[in-house]
Structure 1
Amino acid sequence: MKFTNKFKEATSQLPAKEKDKLLLLLLKKDINLAKQLEFKLVNNLSIEEQRAKIMSEVLEDVKQMSSRSDFSSGRLFMNIRYVSGVINENVKVTKDKFGEVVLHCAMLNQVIKRNHNKIVESTPNNARKLLVDIIARAFKISILAHKLHPDELFDVKDKLKELGKSIGDNHNLMMTAIHNGFDVNWLIKAEFPEDIVEQHKNIKKLGFLK
């Protein structure tokens, strides 16, 4: 919504107490905005420190979910969604786009490494939802990485390569990647096609990555 200059001027002339009341009322209606403001005004952590904090939580969550003896692809699928939600919430609050790539990449790479044998030994039909979800997330990471500044892309290059190789070393994941039009070399080389967003849209229109 675009505000007129007249409206902006009128709001600027409101008494301080009334402005405060209106601000709190608006923040109650927009939780994301409230959390963003709280991070800026109250949280004493820098973006980098907050990213490190979330990274520690993510890696611990992946470790815990992967250590369960009663493995099932469905449970792992749901756990990945939960951890991904934690990362997404952090991005909403901090607007840390570089951290979005770093955290999702670390999460997915650890999931694959810690569950490599379980994923390989799973029947593709039974684990289809999990396999497709992992590849879909790897595709999303590639799109996000493609949007990074070249210097930021360079800083995360090794992590992207590690993820690409983790997928390539897992037969079931590699077959799923090929079937869904995802090229792991994008991650390994940290080089992405200029039309990667369009490719992603077209692949989904054909019913893949779902």
Structure 2
Amino acid sequence: MSAPEPVPPTSRRGDRTRAALVESALTLFAAQGVEATSVDQVTQAAKVAKGTFYVHFERKEDVLLEHAAALVGDLDARPFPDEPRAALHALAQRFVAAQAGTPRAVSGRMVREIIGHRSDWLRVLGRRRALSAVIEPILARGQEVGAIRDDQSPVRLAQALTILWLDNVIGWAERPEPRPLVNDLERATSLFLDGAAVGATPDGKPAP
């Protein structure tokens, strides 16, 4: 096997600059909100020229989408349990842990950007995987072993669970006194699985 080609220094510098812009923007977003934060403030905090921001991002909200893409990136770095229900609950826990350092208000706005600006989300995401793409093989495995009903494709089921999770993140982020996010996602996942389980009727109840 040939040795991997070294990463060009310019690419490494670009990655560091992009990371500095994201970190600076998220700090400012948390302190004063997205609307009140200007690109000038972000670039000043990151100690780069204003034009550099637009080398990496088209608009300041793209920083939230970049952060979201990074959070999803390592969710399946470790194997999941073989049993589909256990695997989805493990993924929900990892999803919560990945954003533990993100302020609630920023998490909520980040998810609203994903839902409300899909074309921008896909543009920023690029070749990286969305959350539904991490969920999909778990559901496909569940269908293979007969644990998940197969009247819907795993793609559509994964999209449905993703929407359910994201909706719960928004509720958690915007509720004055929220429960722990992991509790909300665990409950949402159980409700989803009860409806997707083999033997469930269209209304999600077990067949008589």
Normalised to the residue count of structure 2, the TM-score between the two structures is 0.34
Q: Give the greater-gyration-radius structure (CA).
A: 1
Normalised to the residue count of structure 1, the TM-score between the two structures is 0.34
